[in-house]
Structure 1
Amino acid sequence: MNPALRRMGVIALILLLALMAQSTWVSFFHHDDYEGLINARSLNAEYEVPRGQILAGGTVIAESIPTDGGSYGYQRNYPEGDYFGNITGFKSINYGASNLEAEENSLLNGTSSLLAFDDFWATLLKENKPGGNVVTTLDPELQKAAYDAIADADVKGGAVVIDPKTGRILAQASYPGWNPTEVSSNNGETAEDAKIALDESGDMLDLTRQEFFPPGSTFKTIVSAAYIENGGKADDMVPAGNGYTAPDTDHEITNSSDQCPNEEYTLEEAFAKSCNTTFAKLCVEELTTEQITEMTEAFGFGEAYETPLETVASRTGDLSEEAFRAQACIGQQEVRETVLQNALIAATIANGGERMAPQVVSELTDSEGNTVQKFSEDDLGRSIDLDTAQELEILMAAVVDEGTGRTADIDGYDVYGKTGTAEHSEDGENPDPDHGWFHGFAKDKDGEPAVAVCVFLDSYGEGASSKAAEISGMLMEQVLEGADE
């Protein structure tokens, strides 16, 4: 071989080995330094263009606005404040993203494959590509009405309003709310102070889906469904009385105000009066553990819904002992339910027994508002027979017409529901005020199911379920009147 070529080959080999050694050294010993530099460049690039909007109807609930100088060109802003924080979440340089900002991050920041056409033109024109938009199913005025109603009740709580035919969530309000703007600030000190305050207050917890509570007498809707599915009817005579002691226990189950003195009533009457003794006895003497469990699962207990926001799964707890079942079937013991799940039970009955998947995103668009993905309804299957749903309508109509849920009544419309009052204190001497619940639905003037709702008031105390029913009626009326305009 030519000596000159040989020398060149040796030099090239030495240089290659040196390059490999340097690359190995950097990868193993200085990886963090270079990763930080790469991430910083990526972050700078992400904040050089506007992130997409999140919308409720025509209302912008999350947007990017230009900054006045600094390292980043844009900053995240939430113009509707506390009303939608539980839905949008935050997008922070310091803390990442949460809720829809996290679930739809690739679409919002423009990296989604759904925006490939935009990416092509941005590359061709040598322009930065803005992110796409997320359009929610929420009605902004209904969301605000739900939030304000709970705020006026002066307790923590949540409300979910659903279209029973499609599963689309029209409102999902959690109070107290929170404004994601400061925690999303590009100013590190501002963001840190806001995040610490939110962590301490717990206000970022969505009470409609990230927490569950004893449902009280609203659970009697499921017990009634199990009884009817196994051959019962609304006009069946069922046991009652103002006191019942389950087997192997000395604890007497009573009614809230001795409202069920007769030894028996029709199921319709017992449901309207909310006789605890009736439903405790049914779950001990008429229904098996398997029948109760099958019904709860058919309605969605045990499922972590994704709307795409994840929901904790509701549960019944241990039903193996008769004493446990007696308490569970009046919505106590270990039964725990989310507000979203309780709204879905009402929506399923309204929809003739078909359970629709709850959804909070309607469509995704590009930066110009052109649809790149539209979400259709998803049928989760039949929870109960149509005949059972119709029998449950009889029970739930009686609650609003002449029972415990009369404050939910809406003039000119057929309204159905069930109230619930739940004890939840571990201190027998100084018990916390009771929770208040209402779940139900209403039909439009054509007799079609138009809206389903659940309202939960945390530790409201006396009159809790009546207040929850009142708020529910107001929200359903807003939907019905809007549809009839």
Structure 2
Amino acid sequence: MNAPLRRVAISVLVLFTLLIVNVNYIQVWRSADLRADPGNTRVLSEEYDRQRGSIVVAGNEIAVSTRTDDALTYLRQYPQGELYAAVTGYYSLLYSSSGLERTENDVLTGSDPRLFGRRLADLFTGRDLTGGNVVLTLDPAAQQAGMEGLDGVTGAVVALEPSTGKVLALGSTPSYDPTLLSSHDPDAIRAYADELGAQDPDPRLNQATSEIYPPGSIFKVIVSAAALEDGYTPQTTVPAPDVLTLPGTETPLRNFGNSSCNGGADQSLIDALTISCNTAFAQLGIDLGEEKVRDMAEAFGMTDETTELPLEVTGSTMGEIESDAALGQASIGQRNVRMTPVQAALIAATVANGGTQMKPYLVDQIQAPDLTVEDQTEPEESGSPISAETADELTDMMVSVVENGSGRRAQIDGVEVAGKTGTAQTGNDTPDHNWFIGFAPADDPQIAVAVFVANGGGTGGDVSAPIAQRVMSAYLQAQGSD
């Protein structure tokens, strides 16, 4: 063989070797990633020929697949679309999937290892492969009340069962109809997606889990917890000047509406929280020091790390603290402090549960197509940021907020409610954000809630507290009627 032919033969051999290596790399090493890729339309097309499992709330299917006469055998529909859109997400021919449709895809398609027995049985019996069902922890009454309360605003509501971590409500507004993104008409899908994309904010953005906002005065619960763990009591007096000049600056920090907390005199910690005194908590945070405040915030879950419900939840954070002046601002929930509504609800739930934090979860059961329970979620503790004694003292202080202070509009007849309001400045000439966190009944907590309204324009007590009251009241009434 002459030299040119030898070179050609070697080149062809190398190319065939590279081809074989590449094929094996794709089929063996990358196969799982490619199948999970939401942009893989071949896998999506195969899935449309299989009946997808349902997503279920209190026995009702909130996401269901129905047989059609189309080329794609099954159509995904959402009977109560806008009510649960923040949870279900969508399952779209053009835009793949989001929400639980994505995170629980393996269960819903039937490919989850927990459903192996069912797949094996289908193989031997010749039955069509079908997906499993995802049963959620949501309470319909709490979800409905929260979404009705948020009608017309940008915001979120999250409710938890303090003793277990079950997510009882998770809503985001503005909302959308996932059914319109899940049709078999590409032109209609694109038109609706363009309509949603033209809105500000895009309704597909989950305000409860994905976005972080300055929490304002609800962060004072964290600072109060740090103080109580450091030896303060609810009756310990703290400085509460009418105006606090931040250390090392000439910047004045004032109370809401330039009000006076106690005529400029010291006041008790419980009174400072009751009326949400900015100057008192800014100075308290400075006196405690960054380490104690940050440690407490992180103990409650405020870290940069994302968590899962299994919906992905963006991490909350205190941000960078450059000085005592910055610490004073952070101690009233401003500066670089950012929080999701899920994290806000977790703070309230932890206090309600005697200082023990439970890991929030949204999926209660995984069912096989024949409704056999294949997996049941068990409550899991994630930490104890405060002692039971501190939790009791915080509860008393938060009850005072609702009975005597800024949270009066969260009161429920015949039920003692604990809570904290928050009004956060946005710093860009737009209306303030409004927050409320709380739980009820205060002496036997059944539900903890967080309500966020973006640029609500009022106070947390005026805007968010009444929504929280509706959610807690609806849930307690529903439980009482069971």
TM-score of the pair, normalised by structure 1: 0.89
Task: Please say if 1:470 is aligned against 2:472.
Answer: no
Q: Residue type matched to 1:180 in 2?
A: P
For residues 198-252 of structure 1, the C-alpha deviation after alignment (integer angstroms, 9 at most, x for no partner) is: 3333111111110011111111110110011111000011110211111111111
Aligned to 2:317: 315
CA contact (8 A) 1:347 1:441 kept: yes
Report the secondary structure of 1:391's partner residue: helix
* 2:444 partner letter: E
> Within the alignment, does 1:397 sit opposite 2:399 as a pair?
yes
CA distance in 2, matches of 1:26, 1:272: 68
Aligned residue number for residue 218 of structure 1:
218
- CA contact 1:246–1:323 (8 Å) conserved in 2: yes
Per the alignment, residue 359 of structure 2 pairs with 357
2:298 matched residue in structure 1 = 297
- Contact 2:352–2:439 (8 Å) recurs in 1: yes
SS of 1:419's partner is strand
CA contact (8 A) 1:100 1:309 kept: yes
Q: Which amino acid aligns with 2:103?
A: E
- What is the CA–CA distance in structure 2 between the aligned matches of 1:186 and 1:263, rounded to whole Å? 68
Specify the code of the residue in structure 2 equivalent to 1:63: V
Give a deviation string over 1:119-154, Cα, whole Å, max 9, x none: 122111222111100001111232121011111xx3
Amino acid at match of 1:95: Y
Matches of 2:19 and 2:208, distance apart in 1? 51
Residues in 1 aligned to 2:276 and 2:418: alpha-carbon distance in whole angstroms: 14
- SS for the counterpart of 2:393 is helix
For 2:22 and 2:324, locate their aligned partners in 1 and report how far apart those are by CA, in whole Å. Answer: 63
Q: Which residue of 1 aligns with 2:161?
A: 163
Percent of aligned pairs sharing the same letter? 37
Structure 1 residues 381 and 24 mapped into 2: Cα distance closer, same or farther (>3 Å)?
closer
| CA RMSD after TM alignment | 2.4
TM-score normalized by the length of structure 2? 0.89
**8 Å contact from structure 2 (residues 422, 459) kept in 1:** no
Aligned ranges for residues 105-124 of structure 1 at < 5 Å?
Answer: 105-124=105-124
Which moved further from structure 2: 335-344 or 175-184? 175-184
The 1:247/1:142 distance shift into structure 2, 3 A limit, reads same
Q: Residue 128 of structure 2 aligns to a residue in which SS?
A: coil
1:311 and 1:42, CA in 2 relative to 1: closer, same or farther beyond 3 A? closer
2:6 is matched with: none
Partner SS, residue 480 of structure 1 = helix
Aligned length: 452
Residue matched to 1:103: 103
> Partner of 1:8 in structure 2?
none
Residue 483 (structure 1) shift: 2.2
Which structure has the greater CA radius of gyration? 1
Matches within 5 A, 1:52-91: 52-67=53-68, 69-91=69-91
Per-residue CA shift, 1:27-47, capped at 9, x if unaligned?
88xx99xx99xx776544422
Number of the residue aligned with 1:232? 232
Which of 446, 453, 462 does residue 450 from structure 1 map onto?
446
> For 1:427-484, what per-residue CA distance to the aligned partner results, in whole angstroms no more than 9, with x for missing partners?
xxxx21111111011127xx32111011111111134432211111121111222222
Matches within 5 A, 1:102-251: 102-151=102-151, 154-201=152-199, 202-251=202-251
- Asked if the contact 1:88–1:99 (Cα under 8 Å) also holds between the matched residues in 2, the reply is yes
Maintained 8 Å contact 1:356/1:377: yes
Q: How many Å apart are 1:56 and its aligned residue?
A: 1.2
Distance 1:25 1:378, change over 3 A: closer
- CA–CA separation in structure 1 for the residues paired with 2:181 and 2:476: 37
Q: Which amino acid aligns with 1:62?
A: A
Report what 1:253 is aligned to. 253
Select between 69-78 and 307-316 the one with higher mean Cα deviation: 69-78
Q: Which residue of 1 aligns with 2:4?
A: none
One-letter amino acid of the structure 1 residue matched with residue 109 of structure 2:
N
1:461 aligns with 2:462: no
Q: Match for residue 30 of structure 2?
A: none
For 1:42 and 1:380, the matched residues in 2 are separated by 37
CA distance in 2, matches of 1:413, 1:259: 31
**Displacement over 3 Å in runs of 4+:** 20-28, 39-45
Q: For the structure 1 residues 43 and 377, does the alpha-carbon distance in structure 2 shift closer, same or farther, using more than 3 Å as the test?
A: same
Which sections of structure 1, spanning at least 5 residues, go unmatched? 1-16
Is residue 407–residue 467 contact of structure 1 (8 Å, CA) maintained in 2? no
SS in 1 for 2:364: strand
SS at match of 1:449: coil
- The question of whether the paired residues in 2 share the 8 Å contact of 1:289 and 1:320 is answered with no
Retained in 2: the 8 A contact 1:305–1:358? no
Q: AA paired with 1:474?
A: R
Q: Distance in 2 between matches of 1:300 and 1:45?
A: 40
Match of residue 384, structure 2, among 375, 382, 385: 382
User: How far apart are residue 417 of structure 1 and its match?
Assistant: 0.7
For structure 2, which runs of at least 5 residues remain unmatched after alignment?
1-11, 28-33
